[in-house]
Amino acid sequence: MQQVFEAQLRSMIGEGDCFVLMAVSGGVDSMVMASLFRASPYQKIAIAHVNFGLRGDDSDADEALVQHWAHKAAIPFYVQRFDTLVYSKEHKVSVEMAARELRYQWFEELRQPTGADYIAVAHNANDHAETVLLNLTRGTGIRGLCGIPGKRDAIIRPMLCFERAHIMEYAQKLGTPYREDASNALYDFARNRIRHAVLPELRKINPQIIKQLCQDSRYLREAYAVLEKALERKRSEWCRQDGEALYFEIEKIAADAYPAFHLFELLRPYGFCSGQMKQIIDMLHALPGHKVLSDTHILYKDRGVLALFPQEQESTLPSLHISLFEGKTYHLHKSPNVAALDVDKLQFPLTLRRWNQGYRFTPFGMHGSKKVSDFLTDIRLPLWEKERQLVVCSGNDIVWVAGRRIDEQYKVTEVTERVAEVVVTNHPSKPLSSQTE
């Protein structure tokens, strides 16, 4: 096992003088990995342990075991403790995802100041096979069936070539200390159900199912490397980037022989799953106004394009900047992102908010009020810009549809004594018109 392990390391990081941080949880996989590193020529190593605080005294016992082993082996030891449940609630992610995010964020934060070249994680062949099956149930496409990469950026996984049974046998033979995580036996998590229910049934069909899934995923990874080059060409043909927006030309998508496949692979990095593809393909032939959401992005249908945008959070709304000037000396700006308003007609503080269906204002140069929704429709604003449109309010009055048009009643005139110059910074909408029109 030692020779195979060292061969794996050489294929991943070469034979240079590398500094490797070992992610050691206290479980059998990571403890055996630490033992193999200790006996290898790669002696510039340290241990990083995360205490997620999820299992009370058991979590603390894991930490104590790893720390004791590191001290006995004279290996530098780093530990970080997290309140994973609080993070999970605050970020609205599962406990599993919270633990993963916290873990890898801290590893990278630790790697840079310590000068480590790599972070070694102890995923094994069983983990790889379970991931392939789990991704198959989630509809992640070909990329998901590639499983766990042996190396990605600074992360290396030198234990992927060993099955769990082999690792257990090795630990018992050498007397390597480790702790069992009782939660691994529970059926609360999808991965555990695959481990304890699905894989045993598959072994009845093929006793070498772990090896087979790992082998197939390697072939798929090579195939996907070829596919990625083709996808990049397809992206350049179909798409154009404009700031934070990505536009897909519907005419080119519809003319493609395999639109669902290519579109899914291009949209997958933005959180869309294969189960949404029928809805997205149907949207190609639907009237403008339809949209499909992932956890992080929105895909809109408009005239001739599908437009992809990140979902906005309220915390990312732009801010207002207001400067005051004497009316007699002020010169009007031509920029649509700047509004000039009569100070004496305003009620401070001015507020910035999203528009609602009932909002009305009197567009500059017009008589009589108009619904904001009708105004935005009249200037043929795309759906995605309409939904993201902001308005500046003085009390209950709209004084500026930001980036589009001010209210006639608040315009600067020859008798204006003081001018408020209002600027919306980081405005998410593309300006189409100004208050001087």
Find the CATH number of the domain harbouring 154: 3.40.50.620
Residue 155: helix, strand or coil by DSSP?
Answer: strand
How far apart are alpha carbons 97 and 407 in whole angstroms?
A: 48
Q: Where is the domain boundary, 279, 310, 341?
A: 310
Task: Show the domain range for 105.
Answer: 2-209
Same domain, 53 and 173: yes
- Count of alpha carbons within 13 angstroms of residue 236, beta-carbon side: 5
Which pLDDT tens digit goes with each residue over 203-250? 999 999 999 999 999 999 999 888 889 999 999 999 999 888 899 999
Residue 130 forms part of a structural domain: yes
Same domain, 396 and 413: yes
Same domain, 44 and 187: yes
Q: Where is the domain boundary, 259, 294, 310?
A: 310
Same domain, 8 and 152: yes
- Count of alpha carbons within 13 angstroms of residue 432, beta-carbon side: 14
| b/e map 286-301, b = 16+ CB within 10 Å | eeeebbbebeebbbbb
* pLDDT for res 243: 81
Same domain, 64 and 168: yes
Range from 66-80, 160-174, 283-297 carrying the lowest mean pLDDT:
283-297
List own/partner pairs for 223-231 with CB under 8 A and 24 or more apart: 223/142, 224/142, 224/143, 224/146, 227/142, 227/265, 231/262, 231/265, 231/266
Report residue 87 as tokens: 């993070």
Residue 35 forms part of a structural domain: yes
How far apart are alpha carbons 269 and 264 in whole angstroms?
A: 9
How far apart are alpha carbons 279 and 85 in whole angstroms?
A: 35
Work out the angle between the directed axes of helices 209-238 and 125-138 (0-180°, nearest 10). Answer: 50
Which pLDDT tens digit goes with each residue over 383-431? 878 888 999 999 999 999 999 999 999 999 999 999 999 998 754 444 3
> Residue 143 — very low, low, confident or very high, per pLDDT cuts 50/70/90?
confident
Same domain, 135 and 195: yes
Q: Where is the domain boundary, 288, 310, 332?
A: 310
Report residue 228 as tokens: 């990625």
Residue 223 forms part of a structural domain: no
Q: Domain containing 370 — which CATH number? A: 3.50.40.10
How far apart are alpha carbons 259 and 257 in whole angstroms?
A: 6
Residue 377 forms part of a structural domain: yes
Whether 172 has a pLDDT exceeding 50, the answer reads yes
> Residue 432 — very low, low, confident or very high, per pLDDT cuts 50/70/90?
very low
- Contact call for residues 406 and 394 (beta carbons, < 8 A): no
Model pTM score:
0.67
* pLDDT for res 253: 94
Same domain, 118 and 249: no
Residue 20 forms part of a structural domain: yes
* pLDDT for res 344: 94
Owner of token pair 């403890």? 31
Same domain, 255 and 142: no
> Residue 187 — very low, low, confident or very high, per pLDDT cuts 50/70/90?
low
How far apart are alpha carbons 170 and 80 in whole angstroms?
A: 29
- Contact call for residues 391 and 359 (beta carbons, < 8 A): yes
Report residue 407 as tokens: 């209210």
Same domain, 145 and 249: no
Same domain, 149 and 103: yes
* pLDDT for res 333: 78
Q: Which among 345, 354, 393, 349 is positioned nearest to 376, based on CA atoms?
A: 354
How far apart are alpha carbons 171 and 280 in whole angstroms?
A: 50
Same domain, 107 and 29: yes
Residue 345 forms part of a structural domain: yes
Residue 120 forms part of a structural domain: yes
Out of 183-197, 300-314, 364-378, the most confident range is 364-378
Residue 248 forms part of a structural domain: yes
Same domain, 191 and 49: yes
State how many domains the chain has: 3
Q: What is the mean pLDDT of residues 90-117?
A: 90
Which pLDDT tens digit goes with each residue over 332-345? 877 888 999 999 99
Total residues belonging to the chain: 437
How far apart are alpha carbons 141 and 138 in whole angstroms?
A: 9
* pLDDT for res 48: 95
- Contact call for residues 131 and 147 (beta carbons, < 8 A): yes
